Structure 1
Amino acid sequence: MDCIHLKEIRAYGYTGFLPEEQVLGQWFEVNTSLYLDISTAASTDDIKDTLDYRSVIDLIKHLIKTSKFALVEKLAVTIADSILQQSDRLTKVEVTLTKVAAPIPDFGGKISIEVTRSRSVSN
């Protein structure tokens, strides 16, 4: 299966367990892998035969900016499910959502949630 990788999509949002996270907000970063067959697009060189990933970037930024969840797990799953629903071409989506500056005392690292969603196949 072919894959389109979108890296370092950044947006400011208001998801977080602490009240100040939902009021003051924070930066989030998303990396995603979009699995689909790109063989037709590679042959035709026509964007209508693939996934226009600009719409995926816009969707991710919109969800980060407008969602207000207590848990980043909920935001990560919402992003993955929304991407998968956006195009029938996609068979699988992997999303890694990172809190760029987690508000944890004496912790200078990052917190990331990784989720994978696949399209269910009906027989």
Structure 2
Amino acid sequence: MDKISLNKCRFYGYHGAFKEEQTLGQIFTVDCDLFLDLTAASLSDRLEDTVHYGQVFELIKELVEGTPYILIERLAGAICQAIFEQFPSVQQIRCAIYKENPPIAGHYDSVGIELERRRP
């Protein structure tokens, strides 16, 4: 299966289990791979034969910068669900969300989760 990738998309949101995260917010980084058949687009050179990754970016942005969730697992689930609803040709999604500065004492680049979902 072919793939469209959006890598290291950065947004500011208010998701988290701790009050500080919900009040102060933080940067979230999202990687999203969309798996679909790109044969038609590879032959036609027409935008109509693919998924417009700019529209996917805007959808992810709307969700990350919108209504807060306690868990980033739920946020990733909402992203997957919205992509399936708006882009029928997408058959599988891998969505990873990272927090660079969660309220955890220690030294690390980020913490995060990754979901893989297939169209039902």
TM-score by length of 2: 0.95
Q: Conserved in 2, the CA contact under 8 Å of 1:2 and 1:35?
A: yes
Provide runs of 4+ in structure 1 moved above 2 Å: 106-109
Matched AA of 1:84: F
Other-structure match for 1:59: 59
Q: Percent identity?
A: 37
Other-structure match for 1:41: 41
Q: Give the deviation of 1:109 after TM superposition.
A: 3.4
* Partners of 1:59 and 1:68 in 2: CA distance: 15
Other-structure match for 2:22: 22
Count the aligned residue pairs: 120
Matched AA of 1:102: P
Following superposition of structure 1 onto structure 2, how do residues 48-87 of structure 1 map, counting pairs within 5 Å? 48-87=48-87
Question: What's the RMSD between the two structures over aligned residues?
Answer: 1.0
Q: Give the deviation of 1:108 after TM superposition.
A: 3.4
* Partners of 1:57 and 1:114 in 2: CA distance: 17
Unmatched runs of 5 consecutive residues or more in structure 1: none
Matched AA of 1:26: Q
Q: Give the deviation of 1:71 after TM superposition.
A: 1.1
Unmatched runs of 5 consecutive residues or more in structure 2: none
